[in-house]
Amino acid sequence: MTALSLENVNKSFGTVHVLKDIDLTVEEGEFVVFVGPSGCGKSTLLRVIAGLEDATSGTVRIGGDVVNSVPPAKRGIAMVFQSYALYPHLTVKDNMGLGLRQEGADKSVVEAQVAKASAMLDLDSYLTRRPAELSGGQRQRVAIGRAIVRDPKLFLFDEPLSNLDAALRMNTRVEIANLHRTLSASMIYVTHDQIEAMTLADKIVVLRDGRVEQVGSPMELYNNPANRFVASFLGSPAMNFLDRSVPGLAPGRTIGIRPEYLSLSEDGQIAGTVTHVERLGGDTNLLVRTDQDETLTVRLFGQDPTEVGAQVRLGFDPARAFHFNAAQERVTADAA
Amino acid sequence: MNTARRTLGPTIAAHGVMILYTLIALFPVFVIVTNSFKSRRAIFRDPLGLPTSETFSLVGYETVLKQGDFFLYFQNSMIVTVVSLALILIFGAMAAFALAEYRFPGNALMGLYLALGIMIPIRIGTVAILEMMVSTGLVNTLTALILVYTAQGLPLAVFILSAFMKGVSDDLKNAGRIDGLSEYKIFFRLVLPLVRPAMATVAVFNMIPIWNDLWFPLILAPAEEVKTLTLGSQVFIGQFVTDWNAVLSALSMAILPVMVLYVVFSRQLIRGITSGAVK
Ligand SMILES: Nc1ncnc2c1ncn2[C@@H]1O[C@H](COP(=O)(O)OP(=O)(O)OP(=O)(O)O)[C@@H](O)[C@H]1O
Ligand SMILES: [Mg+2]
């Protein structure tokens, strides 16, 4: 069964057309991540799904039912916000239980659900505190707990980790992945962070300017991007795009090579000078300025002795290179 | 605030200015209160002197309290002020919430219209108001005063509160919607507590002018049983002789309730500010 399906969803604010013909399905138990540059409409799409904004046109189905005119509380969803959005005057316990109590659930049911969620998230010792007395990470766990307690058909996360520091972000990421496994619930997750996208997603939806650019599993998108935008968006360091440095390229064509598929070799096709070296321990990133004046990144595994200023030649496996036409669409290497 | 990093000089200067201002502001109050405890002759001979055992006199208070209506005036003032404030706060907050929260055609225009009253003094409309009150039979009722003061206070209340309400996190309101809170509950339970300092500010700003107003009570409700304290105190100010003891005593007593209200609201103000600081 599909947990969510969107058909031709459009959203305009006045004259600003924010979402354009979005078609999308989320299967039961699937973890779907929306990525895209800032302002592309990720949050707006999430809010349309949640019912916090009405779609200007199109159909939103949750669990098979059309919910276009169903209020947020009755859609069977729960949402976790970037700013936590905990109720400042309620204790952790009441924050988590409020949704169920509003639905008119029995006190014992609410207690049991809150206890279950707080055990899952290690919140037991904070239940009587108010949000102001918690750290950022704890607040975010309470916000997640509040979502779990409602036992929704669909979880919506809007950049839930972006206010946390790096270490905490990693822990919470793992926690969310575990949660997804334990609850086997359908989840939609919005993020800027492509590591979160790659590690958490069953399916990534890449958005640009309110349109879906490509949908697929992380590795599909990584290995087989439909266009230059998707290719450049996923992967860190980002893909290199060259249109002068590679000999024999048809005019108007661009070639894209991921940094890890470039290698130093005596007979490589690309010649250049190393302008910067980043030694990360496990990896070494070289920034190379080619003789044709294009900059590219080379990712070498392990530690490499190359110094700034060195003249290098770079080679790559043509099968690993992507070709793009002038319209930035992906084309096969030999197509004219 | 980081006191260690601030130098002593500016601190002293700042405190000096504030103390000076406090003295200037409190001076008339001080003169009124001290003179209210003095005999009539002492008031004129040495207006700035403190009451001594010779000059001490409670005659003013006796006159005022014997004038049996004083408590009635007091009660009228209290009713008018408290009810007007309550109405200003509740309607002002509701209008401000609608303006800040909902997108509807004419939203900006409506906001402008509601704020217009800040710039136009309501007294310009006195004649029209009086005509309206006469034709609705509200002359010489406290309701008339309450209605006028509510109208007078609303523009600033809407203006200030909507600015504050725009600052309340959208995520919080949306979280409430997802948890099934009605718009009323979101307003009363989530938004109002967060704009409490602004509410207190609005209350303080409106309270004093209402309590002290002489104009509208004189025009709309001059009858004995609906006189406010300020109007009632005028009986001691005659055309030829003024009973200064009584006037000063009445004024001194009139300060008390406003002070109590002020303390209540300013506590809210401080609590609101500190609760915001620890977020
Ligand atoms: N209430 C609104 N009125 C008018 N325009 C809006 C409104 N909300 C969002 N927009 C516009 O819609 C576009 C998409 O906004 P949205 O918040 O969905 O972006 P986003 O992808 O979530 O960005 P970010 O990654 O920065 O959070 C933006 O250009 C924004 O200016
Ligand atoms: Mg967003």
Q: Which atom of ligand 1 is nearest to the CA of B103?
A: 1
**Which of these three, A208, A232, A256, is where a domain ends?**
A232
Shortest Cα distance from B186 to chain A (angstroms)?
A: 11
CATH of the domain at A310: 2.40.50.140
DSSP letter (8 states) at residue B188: I
Tokens of B112: 């402008």
- Mean pLDDT (whole number) for B122-130: 92
- Mean pLDDT (whole number) for B55-60: 83
- Mean pLDDT (whole number) for B47-59: 81
Q: Which residues line ligand 1 (CB under 6 A)?
A: A 13, 16, 18, 36, 38-44, 192
Name chain A contacts of B193, Cβ cutoff 8 Å.
88-89
Shortest Cα distance from B176 to chain A (angstroms)?
A: 8
Looking up tokens 């099968």 gives A319
Cβ atoms < 10 Å from Cβ of B197: 19
Same domain as A259, residue A314: yes
pLDDT at site B6: 62
Mutate to test the pocket of ligand 1, among A20, A43, A48 (most ligand atoms within 8 A of CB): A43
DSSP letter (8 states) at residue A125: G
Confirm whether A27 is domain-assigned. Answer: yes
Same domain as A256, residue A201: no
pLDDT at site A334: 64
Read off the pLDDT of residues A314-328 as tens digits, 9 standing for 90 and up: 999 989 999 999 889
Q: Which of B178, B194, B279 sits opposite A132 (nearest CB)?
A: B279
Cβ atoms < 10 Å from Cβ of B103: 7
pLDDT at site B271: 64
Please say whether the beta carbons of B149 and B80 come within 8 A.
Answer: yes
Read off the pLDDT of residues B62-89 as tens digits, 9 standing for 90 and up: 888 887 688 888 899 999 999 999 999 9
Interface check for A77 against chain B (CB to CB < 8 A): the answer is yes
Write down the mean pLDDT value for chain B.
86
Q: Does the ipTM exceed 0.90? A: no
- Mean pLDDT (whole number) for B115-143: 91
pLDDT at site A244: 86
Same domain as A28, residue A86: yes
Looking at chain A, which runs of residues are DSSP E strands?
A: 2-13, 16-27, 31-35, 57-62, 65-66, 77-80, 154-158, 186-190, 203-208, 211-216, 240-242, 254-257, 262-264, 270-279, 283-290, 295-301, 311-316, 322-324, 330-331
Confirm whether A192 is domain-assigned. Answer: yes
Query: How far is ligand 2, taken at its centre, from the CA of residue A32, in Å?
Result: 16
**Stretch (H or E) spanning B114:** helix B107-119
Same domain as A260, residue A189: no
Residue A298, pLDDT above cutoff 90: yes
Task: Categorize the per-residue pLDDT at B4 as very low, low, confident or very high, splitting at 50, 70 and 90.
Answer: low
The residue type of A169 is R
- Mean pLDDT (whole number) for A51-55: 94
Q: Which residues pair with A254 in a beta bridge?
A: A324
Name chain B contacts of A71, Cβ cutoff 8 Å.
177
Instruction: Select the more confidently predicted residue: B52 or A204.
Output: A204
Same domain as A220, residue A249: no
Confirm whether A45 is domain-assigned. Answer: yes
Same domain as A202, residue A63: yes
- Domains observed in chain B: 68-274 (1.10.3720.10)
pLDDT at site B276: 46
**Which of these three, A210, A232, A254, is where a domain ends?**
A232
Residue B172, pLDDT above cutoff 80: yes
Same domain as A169, residue A252: no
CATH of the domain at A79: 3.40.50.300
Confirm whether A336 is domain-assigned. Answer: no
Identify which ligand lies nearest to the alpha carbon of A208: 1
CA A289 to chain centre: 31
Same domain as A44, residue A140: yes
Confirm whether A164 is domain-assigned. Answer: yes
Pairwise CB contact (< 8 Å): A87 & B176: yes
Read off the pLDDT of residues B189-233 as tens digits, 9 standing for 90 and up: 899 988 988 898 899 889 989 998 999 999 999 898 898 988 888
Of A2-6, A34-38, B43-47, B156-160, the poorest mean pLDDT is in: B43-47
DSSP letter (8 states) at residue B101: H
Read off the pLDDT of residues B229-248 as tens digits, 9 standing for 90 and up: 888 888 777 766 778 888 88
**Which of these three, A176, A201, A232, is where a domain ends?**
A232
pLDDT at site B41: 83
pLDDT at site A43: 94
Cβ atoms < 10 Å from Cβ of A18: 19
Interface check for A78 against chain B (CB to CB < 8 A): the answer is yes
Q: Which atom of ligand 1 is nearest to the CA of A37?
A: 25
- Mean pLDDT (whole number) for A52-61: 94
- Mean pLDDT (whole number) for A266-281: 92
Q: Which of B169, B177, B178 sits opposite A83 (nearest CB)?
A: B169
Pairwise CB contact (< 8 Å): B177 & A72: yes
Same domain as A314, residue A251: yes
Shortest Cα distance from A86 to chain B (angstroms)?
A: 7
pLDDT at site B256: 84
- Mean pLDDT (whole number) for A26-44: 94
Same domain as A197, residue A83: yes
Interface check for A89 against chain B (CB to CB < 8 A): the answer is yes
Task: Categorize the per-residue pLDDT at B40 as very low, low, confident or very high, splitting at 50, 70 and 90.
Answer: confident
Instruction: Work out how many domains chain A is built from and give that number.
Output: 2
DSSP letter (8 states) at residue A60: E
Q: Which of B171, B189, B279 sits opposite A81 (nearest CB)?
A: B171
- Mean pLDDT (whole number) for B133-151: 94
Query: How far is ligand 1, taken at its centre, from the CA of residue A199, in Å?
Result: 25
Ordered DSSP codes for A174-218: HHHHHHHHHH--EEEEE-S-HHHHHHH-SEEEEEETTEEEEEE-H
Pairwise CB contact (< 8 Å): A99 & B180: yes
CB pairs < 8 Å spanning A and B: 60
- Model confidence, pTM: 0.82
Confirm whether A147 is domain-assigned. Answer: yes
C-alpha to C-alpha distance for A5 and A27, rounded to whole angstroms: 9
Read off the pLDDT of residues A76-101 as tens digits, 9 standing for 90 and up: 999 999 888 999 989 999 999 999 99
Residue B279, pLDDT above cutoff 50: no
Same domain as A273, residue A179: no
Identify which ligand lies nearest to the alpha carbon of A34: 1
Same domain as A185, residue A90: yes
Confirm whether A288 is domain-assigned. Answer: yes
Range of the domain at A195: 2-232
